[in-house]
Amino acid sequence: MSLDCLFSRSRHFAGKRLHLGICGSVACYRLTDVLRALRLMDVHVSVTLTAGARQFVTPLLFEALGAMPVYGEMFAPGEDPFAHLEPGQHAQAMLVAPASADALSRLAQGAASDMLSAQALAFEGPLLLAPAMNPRMWRHPATQANVATLRERGARLILPDCGRAACGDEGQGRLAPVEELFWHALRALSPQDMAGRRVLVTLGPTREPWDGVRYWSNPSSGQMGGALALAAWLRGAEVTAVCGPGCPALPSEIRRTEVLTARDMFAAAAEVWPDMHLGCFTAAVADFSPEPYGPDKFKKEGAQDGFSVRFLTNPDILATLSARRLPGQKTLGFAAETAPDMEALMALARAKRARKDADLLAGNRVNGEGSGFGSPTNSMAVTDRNGHEEIWPQQAKSDVAWELLSWLLRL
C-alpha cells in the first residue's frame, strides 16, 4: 500500500525522531509502509522488535528500509547496556503497532521485563498505541481495563479496525489502516499550536447537474484543501471538512461532510460556521449552475442544430461567510486563476481579497506548470487584510497549507 499522500512531500518533519515498537502479529509487516513513508520525509526512525514480532519479520527487513538502530532482546551480546533508555533520550514520539494484548498488559502494569516495555516505561513523550489481536481477545474485560488504564495515563489509542481477522473470526481487532498510523505518527511529531481551535475547510469541486447523466464542474482534486484540513488536525485543531466529489482520504478524527453542488456546500458550511474559529475556503466552487433540464437524459436527436443552456448564479460561500464573521473568526480564501506571471496573479489575488473581504487570500496559477488542479505542488501569490503580500515559489501543497495556517494564526 502506498502512503504517497497529502503530507508525504512535506519538509516540516525533516530531522524529527520517532521510535517504533512492533509486537507479534500477522499485521506487523504493514509497518514497513509507515517506516518507508517516514524515512522519505527524513524522519529518523528507530525500531524495537519483540520476540513475537521476530517470528514474523526480521531486524534486517527494517534495517534495509532505513531504521536505525533496530533493537531486539534486552542485554543481548553486543547490545548497548542502556538501549532500554535510548528512545526516551532521543525520540520525540513513540508508536507501538501492532500492540498485542500482552504488550498492553505489560505497559498497563508498568512492567520492564523486555526491551519494548522497558523503553516505553522510560519514555516521557507522546505514546501512541495501535492494538491488533483476535476480536475476542480485544473484547475481553482484562484488555479493556488495560486500555482504560493506559488512556488515563495519557497514552493515545489508535483503535483497531473491524472485519475478518487472520484466524477467520469477525469483529473489531484488525490493525488500523496504515494511513491512520502514519497520520497519527505525524501528529505526535507536530507542534500543537492549534489545539482548542475549530477549523472549517471546504475542498474539492462541486458538480452542478443538468440532466440525468451530465453535470457542470471542474478538475479540482481537493488536494490543497485536504492538505489544509490535515495540517490543521496535525497541529491539534478540531477540523470539519466539507468535501465535494472525489476528495482525498482524511484522518477518521476529522469530521467529514460529503456534498455535491455549490448550494449543498454553502448550506453545510453555513450551518457549522458560527462555531468555528477559522474558515479555509479552498473548494473550487462552481460560480454558476445550468438551469436543470430534468431527471431524464437529453437526447441529441432533438437538437441537431445545437442548443442553448441558461446558467444560474450560485451562492458566494467565501464572501457570504466572511460577511457573517463573528469577533475572532478569520477567513482564508483561494483564487484559482489563469495569469501570465506571478505579478499578474498577485493583482488578481489582491482584488479578490478586497472583493470577498477575506482576511487572507491565496492565489495560484492553474495554467502554470506544476501548479493548480491535480498537481502535488503549488506556487502562490498571498495577500492579507493588512496589505502584506508574498510570492511563494513552487512547493508541496502540504507545505503551502502549513505556511498559510501559520500566517492566518498571526493575523
Residue numbers annotated as active site: 167
- Distance of alpha carbon 331 from alpha carbon 105, whole angstroms: 47
Dig out the grid coordinates for 337 from the structure: 486563476
Dig out the grid coordinates for 101 from the structure: 494484548
Name residue 65's amino acid.
L
- Helix, strand, or coil here: 207? coil
Dig out the grid coordinates for 250 from the structure: 482524511
- Residue 331, exposed/middle/buried by CB under 10 A (0-12, 13-18, 19+)? buried
Strands 198-203 and 238-243: parallel
- Residue 393, exposed/middle/buried by CB under 10 A (0-12, 13-18, 19+)? exposed
* Spatial contact of 107 and 129, defined as CB atoms under 8 Å apart: yes
Residue 63: phi and psi, rounded to 5, are: -65, -40
- Helix, strand, or coil here: 156? strand
- Helix, strand, or coil here: 338? coil
